[in-house]
Chain A
Amino acid sequence: AQSVSQHNHHVILSEAASLELGCNYSYGGTVNLFWYVQYPGQHLQLLLKYFSGDPLVKGIKGFEAEFIKSKFSFNLRKPSVQWSDTAEYFCAVTGTSGYNKLIFGAGTRLAVHP
């Protein structure tokens, strides 16, 4: 079955702390991987994406993610979080052929305290 698992539902950090959000997927075949962020009251925004090539991808706002094929993982990292990073983060996967419905994880709510 196709699925995405995000390990942490709620994460609370202080400003300047490092962040790592886990994401594992189950999908037959080659994948595209995404992290989206949803700030309170706003739409889903693309943070970063992996299509192919270098497994370490950099996104907006200082975020990066590493694709580890052997572990079916695509963890999101940021070395130093800010209060403005408070949001919900979604990991998603699609296949690379056919029609790309996004399969989302349940999301991780991040709260950053000043």
Chain B
Amino acid sequence: DSGVTQTPKHLITATGQRVTLRCSPRSGDLSVYWYQQSLDQGLQFLIQYYNGEERAKGNILERFSAQQFPDLHSELNLSSLELGDSALYFCASSGLAGGAKNIQYFGAGTRLSVL
């Protein structure tokens, strides 16, 4: 167990809908990262938050947004869902904002199926 908790484990929804994925980082970790794992794109970085502030953005669609709350949990919001958004979404946390010796610990992921 990595100490990173993601809910729900599975999510099935329809095209056009909106969903929210939740992540609780390891105790004491201030950074949260979101990654998407799909068959065609592999594991891709979406976005990073550190202590409530957005720090880095990757290949995140405009239909997707995230935030990190004062209790440090984070939510990834996916809207106007398309079939191609079906993927495994991972959250990772670390104790640092970045720099050398930064290790990310991953949650079990949320499997999103868009039908």
Contact = CB atoms under 8 A, between A and B. Distances in A.
Interface residues of A, number: 27
Contacts of B45: 101-103
Given A102-B45, A104-B43, A43 B106 contact: yes
A101 B2 CA distance: 18
Contacts, number: 67
Interface string A39-78: 0001111100101100000000000000000000000000
B2 A45 contact: yes
B58 to A, nearest CB: 6
A45 B104 CA distance: 10
B18 interface: no
A106 interface: yes
Given A45-B2, A107-B42, A100 B108 contact: no
B106 A36 contact: yes
Contacts of B104: 100, 102
Q: Which of A52, A94, A100 has the most CB of B within 10 A?
A: A100
A98 B98 CA distance: 5
Contacts of B102: 32, 94, 100
